[in-house]
Amino acid sequence: MKNASQGFSLLIASGLVLVLNFSYAQKASYPIDKKVVTTVERMVNPVPVPLTAAKIFPYEISKYSQNGYGKWEFGKGLPYEKRLDLMPDSYAAISVRNTAKLLNFFAMTDIHITDKESPAQAIYFGFKGGIISAYSGIMLYTTHVLDAAVQTVNALHKTNPIDFGISLGDDANNSQYNETRWFIDILDGKLINPDSGLKDDPIPGTHNDYQDEFQAAGLDKSIPWYQAVGNHDHNWMGCFPKDDYIQKSYIGDSIIKMGKNIFAPGGTTERTLYMGVMDGRTIYGDIIGIGPVSTTKPVIIAADPNRRSLSSIGWSNEFFNTTSNPVGHGFDKADAARGFACYAFEPKPDVPLKVIVLDDTQKDGDPSKDVHGHSFLDQERYNWLVKELDKGQAEGKLMVIAAHIPIGLKSVDPELGWDPNAPLSEATLVAKLHTYPNLILWVAGHRHLNTVTALKSPDTTHPELGFWEVETPSLREFPQQFRTFNIVRNSDNTISIFATDIDPAVQEGSFAAASCSYAIAAYEIFKMEPIGSYNAELVKQLTPEMQLKIRNYGIPVNK
């Protein structure tokens, strides 16, 4: 590795070919900006596309900047909104103070580390518009964005210590072994080769294109991190179980073929369209081998066994091959070997709080033919969850549930909500959760949204039976954020949960900064409604017993 005095040439930024030189740290090939703040202090604001801008397709990356797509600037911060939805109408918080910190953790989700050269993708459904998750230019830089986010966590940890971190699933975009390994290895701080198949080098030299090997910074070793499973981690494109044809396509040399509508019955068994692949030999990952089978010349690509698709068992077992803590990242080895990906842990021995990590994705063997993006619990997982909740309540512990898919939403895409064919209904689950006054929070990802939902108590005389649900946005799609959760005790023995959005502190001109630009451009070109950021202080009523128990816990808040 070059020493810190040597610069590197970075040739892709905001859709233009540029040459930038700056020094980088010995540890990380691509350092972040020196200024690290939360969205409370500073926001990333897209610059509106000019009304006169040409209409372009998502795959025309070289045209983004010249047509005004993907431009952004910093703006003022976004303050916390104080939410009292779960509190009685008579509650007055005017004189209440935050008195002690109980727990501080970060959550990342829907990172979608992507092997852009995989022949088993669904690029066809997004390269000219349509489904943003099928294709956008940010697929070039998913490893770089995660590395920048990890470095941002490390910087925040120095000023406000973080007790643990958790990924809420969809680490991999398409359930591939190499995608999962890149994710784990970035957190471990290893050398990352984000290339697959034959070694490509669009721009000769090192550290100057998206295919070059780089040194990841790695998460600070004093921060343990945990893992939940997402639907993309073990399903084809997060949508369907993998039949024999799909399995072979991952490791073959031919681009996968699908029907015009994969969501229609038989759509994944038709072979009328080549889905296409990004050409890793080109600066912008040009798309090749895409279109109708009848008129498109077949493209042969270099096969790679590391593209093999992982089952849920194979995926969870990868987390035991790690150099960061804890080994397994929460998964129990015996449970992982049989495909059971639920567990619980207590992050701080001196705080009565447990985290329950729940697998609420559809199983590999689920025979249903629709999109496998539903929330789902079988009887075994439900029984396990109830047992953990019963235990936590009996032991007088506050409880947080971490799962990939949110629940109890008033308005949701039917393909992203509860599976109507699940053995257990969503109403049954929510009603059960409302019997645990020590349940304070459900954290989730999946929808790539910045949404906070108050699941209010069904009994107005017992507001402590309500709990909060916080969705964390995706590191792939704009606004490319993760969250921190700071749980504090208040002077009236309620608690507050400060949910804060964090932008990776990208260095100007870096690949991670280019990714931010591409993510904004994708939202503009796909004409999607911006998600926006959302910071909130979420107040939760406790039972008299828990008020007494936590009264002497926590680190005093400096006012």
Question: Dihedrals φ, ψ of 184, to 5°?
Answer: -65, -45
Q: How many residues does the chain have?
A: 559
Q: Is the peptide bond preceding residue 479 cis, with omega within 30 degrees of 0?
A: yes
Residue with tokens 């979608």: 112
Residue with tokens 């639907």: 231
Tokens of 228: 């939940």
Longest Cα pair distance anywhere in the chain, in angstroms? Answer: 73
How confident is the model at residue 8, as a pLDDT?
25
Q: What spatial distance separates the first Cα and last Cα of the chain, rounded to whole Å?
A: 45
Are 160 and 176 in contact by the 8 Å Cβ rule? The answer is: no
**H or E segment to which residue 297 belongs:** none
HSE (side-chain half, CA atoms, 13 Å) at 441: 28
Residue with tokens 């964090």: 502
Q: Using CA of residue 207, residue 211, residue 214, residue 216, what is the dihedral sign? A: positive
How far does CA 354 lie from the centroid of its chain?
22
**Secondary structure E strands in 34-118:** 42-46, 72-76, 81-83, 98-108
Give the C-alpha separation, 316 to 331, whole Å: 7
Give the C-alpha separation, 232 to 239, whole Å: 7
Which sequence spans correspond to the domains of the chain? 7-86+98-556
**CATH class (in words) of the domain with range 7-86+98-556:** alpha beta
Classify 340 as helix, strand or coil: coil
Residue with tokens 């949508």: 239
At 185, the amino acid letter reads D
- What one-character DSSP code corresponds to residue 30? S
HSE (side-chain half, CA atoms, 13 Å) at 48: 3
Nearest to 446 by CA among 229, 240, 268: 229
Nearest 5°: the CA angle 356, 357, 360 is 120
Are 469 and 407 in contact by the 8 Å Cβ rule? The answer is: yes
Residue with tokens 């697929």: 139
Give the C-alpha separation, 288 to 320, whole Å: 37
Are 510 and 30 in contact by the 8 Å Cβ rule? The answer is: yes
How far does CA 215 lie from the centroid of its chain?
22
Tokens of 15: 């859709």
Give the C-alpha separation, 297 to 306, whole Å: 26
Give the C-alpha separation, 356 to 344, whole Å: 4
At 65, the amino acid letter reads S
Tokens of 128: 């000219």
Nearest to 351 by CA among 526, 486, 218: 486
How confident is the model at residue 559, as a pLDDT?
54
Classify 100 as helix, strand or coil: strand
Are 531 and 77 in contact by the 8 Å Cβ rule? The answer is: no
Are 200 and 280 in contact by the 8 Å Cβ rule? The answer is: yes
Give the C-alpha separation, 473 to 75, whole Å: 20
Low-confidence residues in the chain, pLDDT < 70? 1-26, 559
Indicate the pairing of strand 191-192 with strand 42-46. Answer: unpaired
